[in-house]
Chains A and B, each alone.
Chain A
Amino acid sequence: MSETLLSVKNLEAFYGDFQALFGVSLEIGAGEVVAIVGANGAGKSTLFKTIAGQIPSRRDAVTFAGEPIGGLRAHDIVRRGVALVPEGRRLFRSLSVQENLQIGGQAGRKGAWTLERVYGLFPALRERRAQPAAELSGGQQQMVAIGRALMSNPKLLLCDEISLGLAPIIVRDIYARLPMIVAEGTSLAIVEQDIVQALAASTKVYCLQEGRVALAGASQSVTREKIAAAYFGV
């Protein structure tokens, strides 16, 4: 297996008094694509938000590129090379498409991804670059969200439900571009509702159930039965 890029150990996360994650541990290697699956409310988004620094955690619960980053603030974590494509896209509504991409690049990390390269990856965005991001179709908005995260040249890209609310053909289109991102040396972690899609796109899969890891394994080796069992805890 490749060298470890991100390691999460015994991670706990809270919303006030409500505990959403109970001792989650997982590893993501350089160049890997890892899928995170689980039922609604299992804690997938919470896991990503905690890694990205939107929810506080213990310093040593998250290690990235050999450094403990748990509990650092989100803007600091982006600068270290972890970018999140948040659930629901969360584009800046008063910024144009191009400005949404540019602001992703303001974190100041150098690397392969530039405005030109992002337009190369998602050509549909180039002609709409002056439009407000809110005017785009759902699929194009998702491309902007991915592009915005790529502009910070992350070593690890976390994608939370990039197929949410999109037509299957568009989902396929977006998933078809992911290998190009990996080819630039970026590891991927994806949260995905569609298990077939998740397994096909990934090398490793983790299944969360009520805030705990219920199953972990290589994507080719897990069966749908095992996943179904891990999903619902039956």
Chain B
Amino acid sequence: MDWLNSIVQGVLVGGLYALFAAGLSLIFGVMRLVNIAHGDLIVLAAYLALATTQTLGVGPLGSLLVIVPLMALIGYTLQRFVLNRTLGEDLLPPLLVTFGLSVILQNGLLQVFTADSRKLQAGLIETASIPIAEGLSLGVLPLLQFIVAVAVIAGLQALFYNTPMGRAFRATSDDPSTAQLVGLDNRHVFGLAMALSLAVTAVAGVFLGVRANFDPSIGPARLIFGFEAVIIGGLGNLWGTLAGGIILGVAQAVGAKLDPGWQLLAGHLAFLFILAIRPQGLFPRVQD
């Protein structure tokens, strides 16, 4: 039962990793951009949520009403004014600019919020749990977080395949120059994609902040978890990304059960193992 418990917790954490991954996967899908600052943007969202809860006196979930649109706005602006200039044949500019951004964000957060660990306080819900069986219970918060992750991914899936915006994303991804011929402004479409990516990031940041302590330095590790979930699941497949997140979460939980020092290592090793035996990921999107 102990083991089952760990695995269930791992699955639930996997939802959070899928949230980290979804935003990363989305912008890669639309514009082949890999945003190295993605993890730091998640942490930024957590700090913005902290500031919101403190100034407006709302709870972390309430703060989403502010943080989601705010992060979307930041995403759109960032894309239009900075990242669009880096897109092209050469992959160095986007990588280096987002890498520079990562350093700026980390140190900016350090400057404003200091290196102290923080946490978002969600009140009673944090300790509430639903007993399932003897020795196995589901925390309400992890469960909620998992449900939200699934909902976000379902929502992104629906948006991608059933809305004009999603159509524009897919068309631009297929052939950016022909997309312009049908009236799509790439710069705007990319801006929207980044806005959406950071809106998802905002949700991820709030759950990250409720679940555990955070400080300005933890961004890169979140980037890596998200990245691993994307690769495990297979590029371009959002449900695969959810599966990737879950596999990563379970691997970490099992590792931690064996030896607390092995939690992160086990996750990375699971990733490297899958990369070795199935480089295209477990569920790659069927091409053509």
Contact between chains at A73 and B288 (CB < 8 Å): no
Q: Which residue of B lies closest to A135 (CB)?
A: B288
Q: Mark B23-62, 1 if CB is under 8 A from A, else 0.
A: 0000000000000000000000000000000000000000
Contact between chains at B181 and A93 (CB < 8 Å): no
Q: Mark A119-141, 1 if CB is under 8 A from B, else 0.
A: 00000000000000010000000
* B177 CB, min distance to chain A CBs, angstroms: 6
Contact between chains at A90 and B184 (CB < 8 Å): no
Residues of chain B with a CB closer than 8 A to A108's CB: 183
Contact between chains at A106 and B181 (CB < 8 Å): no
Interface centre among B173, B174, B178, B288 (most CB of A within 10 A): B178
State which of B5-13, B111-119, B163-171, B256-264 sits at the interface with chain A.
Answer: B163-171
The verdict on B129 contacting chain A, using a C-beta distance below 8 Å, is: no
The verdict on A57 contacting chain B, using a C-beta distance below 8 Å, is: no
> CA separation between A83 and B177, bound complex, in Å?
14
> CA separation between A95 and B173, bound complex, in Å?
11
Contact between chains at A52 and B181 (CB < 8 Å): yes
Q: Which residue of A lies closest to B188 (CB)?
A: A75
Contact between chains at B185 and A86 (CB < 8 Å): no
Contact between chains at A75 and B167 (CB < 8 Å): no
Residues of chain B with a CB closer than 8 A to A148's CB: 182
The verdict on B180 contacting chain A, using a C-beta distance below 8 Å, is: yes
Instruction: Using A53-B180, A92-B178, A102-B164 as known contacts, say yes or no to A75 and B171 having CB atoms under 8 A apart.
Output: no
Chain A contact residues (Cβ within 8 angstroms of B): what range?
A: 20 to 34
The verdict on A187 contacting chain B, using a C-beta distance below 8 Å, is: no
> CA separation between A53 and B164, bound complex, in Å?
23
Contact between chains at A102 and B167 (CB < 8 Å): yes
Q: Which residue of A lies closest to B174 (CB)?
A: A92
Q: Mark B74-99, 1 if CB is under 8 A from A, else 0.
A: 00000000000000000000000000
Q: Which of B123-167 contact A (CB under 8 A)?
A: 164, 167
Contact between chains at B183 and A152 (CB < 8 Å): yes
The verdict on B175 contacting chain A, using a C-beta distance below 8 Å, is: yes
The verdict on A74 contacting chain B, using a C-beta distance below 8 Å, is: yes
Residues of chain B with a CB closer than 8 A to A76's CB: 185
Give me the interface of B with A, judged by CB distance under 8 Å: 164, 167-168, 170-171, 173-175, 177-186, 288
Given contacts A73-B180, A92-B171, A99-B167, 10 further A-B contacts (CB under 8 A): A53-B180, A54-B177, A74-B180, A78-B181, A90-B175, A92-B170, A92-B174, A92-B175, A93-B288, A134-B288
